[in-house]
Amino acid sequence: MAQQPNTQNLVSDSGKAVASVDNLLPKEITIKAENIGVIKANLDLFTLLALSILAGAFISLGSIFFTVVTTGNGVAGAIKLPAGIMRLAGGLSFCLGLILVVIAGSELFTGNILITMAAASKKISIKLLARNWTVVYAGNLIGAITTAYLIFASGQYKLSDGIFGLQALTIATAKCNIPFMEALIRGIYCNALVCLAIWLCFSGRTVVDKIVSIIFPITAFVTIGFEHCVANMYLIPAGIFIKNGAQPEFWAKAGSAAADTYATLTWNNFIVANLIPVSIGNIIGGLMVGLVYWVIYNRPNVLNADNQSKLLRKHIGLGQRKHQRHEADGLVTLQFDSGVANGNLCNISEGGMTCTFKMCEINLPHKLDNIACVITGYAKDSTGQADKIEVSEVKGTLVNYYTESVYGEAQIWITIQFIDLSMDKRKDILHLMKNMTSKNY
């Protein structure tokens, strides 16, 4: 049986597969995003809920980090930094949350909006999509509010004479006073950046790749002031717990009257004024990323996991220089490291050729580039006589192959792409192509 080449991994000269460290290209990211969506949508209920609670806790840890880092600017004689620099520092610290979600593994509602790509390709049902979103949203809410209460119970808000608690109250109150439309739009742009961060993570193959992919989009959305529903599931309840449960000595040190300063910080405003518009905006922002990339790359007739072999045969066979290939009558000899194979020439262009070999007579090598080709063809000259042309020492690389049975005998079709074709050899190939039947594909 012929030895089949490994088209999935890089292959060393010794024939052993080695890992590829190249990041995925956009078309490959789209395919990966769909397949990940299928897996996420089919998780069992316990696993999905548990991972969702973890994600709520992870984002909460990033929110706590953000709150502490942005506290006390210019206090006690310290240099007061510009507001933009402080927000930048807060954005960098908030990245902890999504880094934990992606690297440690959990289910985040805002990132899971990308599952719509799998639904658009009909790999999952709308029912499975809705199930995932509902369970994950509920789990994120449980994880975030539980973390907010436990941090309150730890007394962290009282540290440094209560300035951490005051900062938490200030952040929560400001979020409860954003007008509906503003909160909606901020939610849209927030999750566009979050989903782009997840998208970039799909491209990466290492932990470092993924962390670097997260830092810039997430830092940007926090610094700009966009709204993330899961982060707000921690930030606003954290403020409400402090407002309603802080001890009198906290207010004495903080020098603030909760009833007057934080009157809008209520559970009703948390849900109606912030969580609802921000969540709707986050969904829209995620759909903008997922569906736009699906339309570009994964709609029917675009190169994807299901049709790439057929399209590659079609497009690569056209050749690099001419969108046309010519039926040819001739012989081909391929010289591999593992031996020599003789076959029949089927068609040829300036960019490459397709030829056939008997399966039992060819042993494909592990190394598929720098193949030496000898082409012997027949073309008619101006007098109508058959003109035998031999083009030797043509270098090529194997770009595609497939097998079929002809009269009960297995044969393999091979597409070779020419590389480093000299001008003289190109002239010989053009001569071979003259007066042959032109066939468009």
Structure tokens at 16: 């052993």
Q: Is the pLDDT score of 388 beyond 90?
A: no
Domain boundaries, the chain: 17-298, 310-439
Contact 108, 140 (CB under 8 A): yes
Provide the b/e sequence for 381-407 (b: ≥16 CB within 10 Å). eeeeeebeeebeebbbebbbbeeeeee
18-57, pLDDT tens digit by residue?
A: 444 457 778 788 888 888 999 999 999 999 999 999 999 9
The Cα-based distances of 15 to 111, 130, 327 in angstroms read: 39, 46, 35
Q: Is the pLDDT score of 274 beyond 90?
A: yes
| pLDDT for the residue numbered 241 | 95
| pLDDT for the residue numbered 327 | 77
99-152, pLDDT tens digit by residue?
A: 999 999 999 999 999 999 999 988 899 999 999 999 999 999 999 999 999 999
Q: Is 387 helix (H, G, I), strand (E, B) or coil?
A: strand
Q: Is the pLDDT score of 306 beyond 70?
A: no
The upper half-sphere exposure of residue 42, i.e. CA atoms within 13 Å in the direction of its Cβ, equals 11
Q: Which of the pair, 52 or 404, is modelled with greater confidence?
A: 52
| pLDDT for the residue numbered 378 | 72
The answer for residues whose C-beta is within 8 angstroms of residue 433's C-beta and 6 or more apart is 326, 328, 348, 349, 350, 379
Structure tokens at 319: 């050749």
- CATH number for the domain whose boundaries are 310-439: 2.40.10.220
Q: Is the pLDDT score of 435 beyond 70?
A: no
Sequential DSSP letters for 267-284: HHHIIIIIIHHHHHHHHH
Q: Is the pLDDT score of 411 beyond 50?
A: yes
State the amino acid at position 346 in one-letter form. Answer: C
Q: Same CATH fold, 310-439 and 17-298?
A: no
Residue 204 CA to residue 201 CA, distance in Å, equals 5
Q: Is the pLDDT score of 396 beyond 80?
A: yes
Q: Which of the pair, 323 or 369, is modelled with greater confidence?
A: 369
Q: Which of the pair, 2 or 101, is modelled with greater confidence?
A: 101
Structure confidence at residue 317 as a pLDDT band (50, 70, 90): low
Q: Which class is domain 17-298?
A: mainly alpha
Q: Is the pLDDT score of 183 beyond 50?
A: yes
Contact 363, 339 (CB under 8 A): yes
132-141, 191-200, 255-264: least confidently modelled range: 255-264
Q: Is the pLDDT score of 379 beyond 50?
A: yes
Supply φ then ψ for residue 320, to 5 degrees: -80, -30
The Cα-based distances of 284 to 59, 131, 225 in angstroms read: 20, 18, 17
| pLDDT for the residue numbered 85 | 92
Q: Is the pLDDT score of 431 beyond 80?
A: no
